[in-house]
Chain A
Amino acid sequence: DAKTTQPTSMDCAEGRAANLPCNHSTISGNEYVYWYRQIHSQGPQYIIHGLKNNETNEMASLIITEDRKSSTLILPHATLRDTAVYYCIVSNFGANSKLTFGKGITLSVRP
């Protein structure tokens, strides 16, 4: 599976959009981009995933560049409850479907 690179941390103001970047320059054609988050020591929570097209759901939007070498997770109106570690994961999901979690990016939402 391709490796991802994320900043260590970032912050944003409550109510503003949080844009979390992720680089995956070695991504191959059949690999999906997934985002999960982990609030404190709770179990990771799925946010969104995509292959080529931009995706949006009730939690966030995922913007994938045309060359697929990077992506951005957008939380449109961040709240204090969005403070968490966000993991960008690239996986072609073989039979095991193992997710390799890196260090992620710590998002701090300030009042």
Chain B
Amino acid sequence: EAQVTQNPRYLITVTGKKLTVTCSQNMNHEYMSWYRQDPGLGLRQIYYSMNVEVTDKGDVPEGYKVSRKEKRNFPLILESPSPNQTSLYFCASRRGRSYEKLFFGSGTQLSVL
């Protein structure tokens, strides 16, 4: 089944403790992206990647890192999480053409205490 898989689904952590949220897609998609969703603010893009080894900042990249060493994986790294990064996170992917539809993962609910 074609899908975008995120792990974990829920994560509770403390301020400053480094964490990684994994994202993997099995559709051989070139493009991958991370969004965060907060009440009243909608979905905002954090980072995106047009292909392997090509990443760029979205609208809210501060406090996050990403890497794209393999086509299928696009992990989101929080080196020193803070409470304002408590949010619902979504990974998405699509084929290379810009008008293609996005496939989203099921989400990761992160709470930073």
Contacts and interface: CB of A to CB of B under 8 A. Distances in A.
A46 B2 CA distance: 14
A42 interface: yes
A99 B48 CA distance: 12
Bin chain B's interface residue count.
20 to 34
Interface class of chain A by DSSP = loop
A93 B98 CA distance: 5
A96 B48 contact: yes
Nearest to A43: B104
A93 B107 contact: no
A43 B48 contact: no
Interface string B75-106: 00000000000001010101000111111111
Interface string A21-44: 000000000001010100001111
A7 interface: no
A94 B92 CA distance: 17
Interface in A46-61: 46, 49
Interface residues of A, number: 21
B45 interface: yes
A95 B45 CA distance: 14
A101 B42 contact: yes
Contact of A95 (B33, B98, B103, B106): B98
B58 interface: yes
Nearest to A48: B101
Interface of B: 4, 31, 33, 42-43, 45, 48, 50, 56, 58-59, 88, 90, 92, 94, 98-107, 109
Q: Lowest 6 CB-CB distances: which A-B pairs, in order?
A: A43-B104, A93-B98, A46-B101, A101-B43, A101-B42, A97-B98
